[in-house]
Amino acid sequence: MNPAQSSVFIRSLGVHTPERKLTNDDLSKIVDTNDEWIKTRSGIAERRIAGPNENPSDMGAKAAAQALKNAGLNPEDIDLLIVATMTPDVPFPSTACILQAKLGLRRDIPAFDVSAACSGFIFALQVGTDMLRSGNYRRALVVGTEKLSGVLDWQDRTTCVLFGDGAGAAILELTDTPNVGILGNMLGSDGTNAELIHSVAGGSAKPSTPETIQNREHCLRMNGKEVFKLAVRVMSESCQRVLNKCGVTSDQVAWFIPHQANARILEAVAGQLNVGLERFPSNLDRFGNTSAASIPLALEEAWREGKIKHGDLVLLVAFGSGLTWGATLLRWHEPKK
């Protein structure tokens, strides 16, 4: 098998979400909002919130363990670990290294983080695919894990109602079966719009102080109106670009798995692509926006429920802080047992 010419496919998936549910009614007791206001503007009814001692690495480890079990693999079978997160356990070391130890992966494999916010899982998929095709690795574990509840301003009703916590994991593997798995990717970034979704303090440019904490400058800030417009445009364009690259039309795609950011964004993207919303599986109402975890959470659910079948074309698409965006087209492959 020539790795450079081989296909890379998703062998299995795993997910984990915290037990605690935070409903819209619960939020109305914390901030000036109500169930109707949140549902109308976002489509979200509830989200999961991690406990104080439940870190992104803990959630990622549980999702990864499930993916390993579903694939019938052991930790020593993994050659590469990539973690997508915008809410790492700590600034350093990487959450990937912490996760490597918790999973008991081999000590001689590379483990590193990818920081592309809500597009992180798409970025990590391409990095993992390219590294497998280099011939140096056989199997990669890609994890998207987020604890957004730890970076939210719970006094800001425009942001705190949108996000939730969770993790999803995928195992990538090489196969000599042609025209299956990941068929094409495209990624993009625009740093001129960095301040549309950002935090002010907490990094080396403005380290945390009692004043920055008091002013909640380390919390997520977002210009929702501008983000909405850009998200619809870049997600629609990303889908069309990767379809054109692969010589596929939107009619041939069985399922579109978008980043679960906002129900109105999903509706607008479906409209731009002239695709029925029923082909956009969504669990946004139950989990909210889980950033880098949202696509694997939605993909695993569609796979587990039997919606995605062997041979289906599936298009993953996301946008996030940076701004970043990306899309991945794959032909779902279920290897023979």
Count of domains in the chain?
A: 2
pLDDT tens digits for 170-215?
A: 999 999 999 999 999 999 999 999 999 999 999 999 999 999 999 9
Confidence label for 276 from pLDDT (cuts 50, 70 and 90): very high
pLDDT at 337 over 70: no
Mean pLDDT to the nearest integer, 326-333: 98
Residues 143 and 192 in one domain: no
Whether 262 is in a domain gets the answer yes
Whether 311 is in a domain gets the answer yes
Distance CA 49, CA 9 (A): 31
Q: In CATH, what number is assigned to the domain containing residue 155?
A: 3.40.47.10
pLDDT at 25 over 80: yes
Residue with tokens 């790492």: 88
Q: Would you call 276 helix, strand, or coil by DSSP?
A: coil
pLDDT at 305 over 70: yes
Residue with tokens 């592309």: 116
Domain that holds residue 120: 3-178
Whether 167 is in a domain gets the answer yes
With both helix axes pointing from N to C terminus, report the angle between 224-246 and 263-273 in degrees, rounded to the nearest 10. 40
Query: Could you say which of 55, 185, 218, 259 is catalytic?
Result: 259
Active site residue 118: yes
Distance CA 238, CA 183 (A): 14
Q: Find the DSSP H helices in the chain.
A: 24-28, 35-42, 56-71, 95-103, 120-133, 210-214, 224-246, 263-273, 284-287, 294-304
Percentage of the chain exceeding pLDDT 70: 100
What is the DSSP pairing of strand 46-48 with strand 7-16?
unpaired
Chosen domain end from 128, 151, 178: 178
Whether 197 is in a domain gets the answer yes
Residues 7 and 109 in one domain: yes
pLDDT tens digits for 212-222?
A: 999 999 999 99
Residues 187 and 172 in one domain: no
Active site residue 185: no
Whether 337 is in a domain gets the answer no
pLDDT at position 287 is: 98
CA–CA distance from 6 to each of 129, 136, 169, 182, 247 (Å)?
Answer: 10, 13, 22, 10, 19
Query: Could you say which of 118, 160, 219, 246 is catalytic?
Result: 118
Query: Could you say which of 24, 55, 262, 289 is catalytic?
Result: 289
Confidence label for 1 from pLDDT (cuts 50, 70 and 90): confident
Chosen domain end from 178, 201, 226: 178
Residues 38 and 141 in one domain: yes
Q: Is 228 exposed, middle or buried (0-12, 13-18, 19+ CB in 10 A)?
A: middle
Active site residue 262: no
Residues 56 and 102 in one domain: yes
Chosen domain end from 138, 162, 178: 178
Residues 59 and 94 in one domain: yes
Tell which wins on pLDDT, 45 or 337. 45
pLDDT at 100 over 70: yes
